Amino acid sequence: MWRYIARRFAYMLFTVWVISLISFILIQLPPGDFATKMVSQMLSGGAREVPPEVEAQLRAQYGLDQPVYVQYATWIGKIIFEGDFGYSFTYKRDAIELIFERLPMTFTISLFSVLFIWVVALPTGIYSAVNKYSLSDYLFTFVGFIGLAVPNFLLALILMFLSYKFSGQALIGLFSPEFADAPWSLAKVLDMLKHLWIPVIIVGMAGTASLIRTMRANLLDELNKPYVETARAKGLSELRLLWKYPVRHALNPFISTVGWTLPTLVGGEVIVSIVLNLPTSGPIILESLMQQDMYLSAGFILVLSTLTVVGTFVSDLLLAWLDPRIRLQ
């Protein structure tokens, strides 16, 4: 057990390191850098010409003239020892500030989406498996496929329209105007919850649909296993037996993947956040990548991937706690 945890922990550290390396290199890959970007902006902004010395000076100012590995070492060193994620060229602020502004919102939406997915998908999947080929099974399958097939932005527009039609106000953003810049209070939290359901449903929709399918398939596999018949032959009622044995077994594959839901949710969130104008990480990551604002994008990617890897580590622990085969090996 302890060896298992130690091994997982070592994997986790290693993975985070590799991710930091890859994300930094990837961000360097497109031709040009922030300095070229600024020069072209100056040109399109009306400057007739920008002397090469200015460009070189810009480059030196931001340390972009150093070799990549030096830039990487400086960057990662500052993160580890000073918690300094570098500077956002576009926002003219510390990257870490922006990350901490946006990340909690992303996290809130992700958390609620995961809850939404589980609360809706698990019972539905179980019901579908137990009542295989019933009318409701077909209905859930149909709805599930629609959920998978409808693009998120379309769903966002539809829900926005519906909320406007029925409540008279467009539930855009995460806060009503009067709360947008207000300090945190109970009223602000309630206001946020009122806005939150739209992005949560949209971001969670595809995940819900696919989790219903997986849960159904997993459980169908388990329902025919001999241990289920043993339990039935003991005289257990169908419901008790279902929860104690096959559902418990069918859950294992999910627990090991909980950690990986974060990146898919963040990916799904980008477009929705743009459409709904939400102050989350997705849009700002996209923007920083387009502007070649390297420290900001690298910082976001590093933090999100680290959280994902930590999430995976946590789900490994959870799995070990739930499954004696892992715990006792």
Partner 1 sequence: MGDILLDVIDLKIHFFTDEGVVKAVDGVDLAIERGKTLCLVGESGCGKSVTCRAFLRLIANPGRLVSGEMHFRSSTNGTIDLAQLDPKGSAIRDIRGKEIAMIFQEPMTSLSLMHTVGDQIMESVLLHENVLKPEARDRAIEMLQRVGIPKPDRLVDEYPFRLSGGMRQRAMIAMALSCNPTMLIADEPTTALDVTTQAQILDLMLDLQRQDNMTLMFITHDLGVVAEIADDVAVMYLGRIVERASVDTIFNAPQHPYTQALLRSIPKIAMQRDELDPIKGMVPSPYRRPSGCTFHPRCSRRIEACNRIVPSVTELAPGHTVRCLLYENIQETEALQHG
In 8-29, which positions are buried (b, 16+ CB within 10 angstroms) versus exposed (e)? beeebeebbeebbeebbeebee
Smallest separation (angstroms) from partner 1 to the CB of 219? 15
In the complex with partner 1, the residue whose CB is nearer, 50 or 236, is 236
In the complex with partner 1, the residue whose CB is nearer, 97 or 238, is 238
For residues 94 and 84, the answer to whether their CB atoms sit within 8 Å is yes
How many Å apart are CA 192 and CA 190, to the nearest integer? 5
How many Å apart are CA 228 and CA 249, to the nearest integer? 11
In the complex with partner 1, the residue whose CB is nearer, 149 or 239, is 239
In the complex with partner 1, the residue whose CB is nearer, 29 or 328, is 328
Instruction: Kindly state the DSSP code that residue 94 receives in the 8-state scheme.
Output: E
Stated length of the chain:
329
Q: Is 322 helix (H, G, I), strand (E, B) or coil?
A: helix
CB atoms within 10 A of CB 211: 22
Smallest separation (angstroms) from partner 1 to the CB of 223? 9
Smallest separation (angstroms) from partner 1 to the CB of 134? 11
Smallest separation (angstroms) from partner 1 to the CB of 230? 5
Smallest separation (angstroms) from partner 1 to the CB of 155? 37
Structure tokens at 244: 């104690």
In the complex with partner 1, the residue whose CB is nearer, 1 or 146, is 1
* Alpha-carbon Rg for the chain in angstroms: 24
In the complex with partner 1, the residue whose CB is nearer, 93 or 232, is 232
For residues 39 and 32, the answer to whether their CB atoms sit within 8 Å is no
For residues 95 and 299, the answer to whether their CB atoms sit within 8 Å is yes
Smallest separation (angstroms) from partner 1 to the CB of 228? 9
In the complex with partner 1, the residue whose CB is nearer, 29 or 239, is 239
Smallest separation (angstroms) from partner 1 to the CB of 8? 20
For residues 277 and 231, the answer to whether their CB atoms sit within 8 Å is no
Site residues, partner 1 (CB under 8 A) = 225-227, 229-238, 244-245, 248-249, 322-325, 328
Angle at 194 between CA 156 and CA 261, to 5 degrees: 55
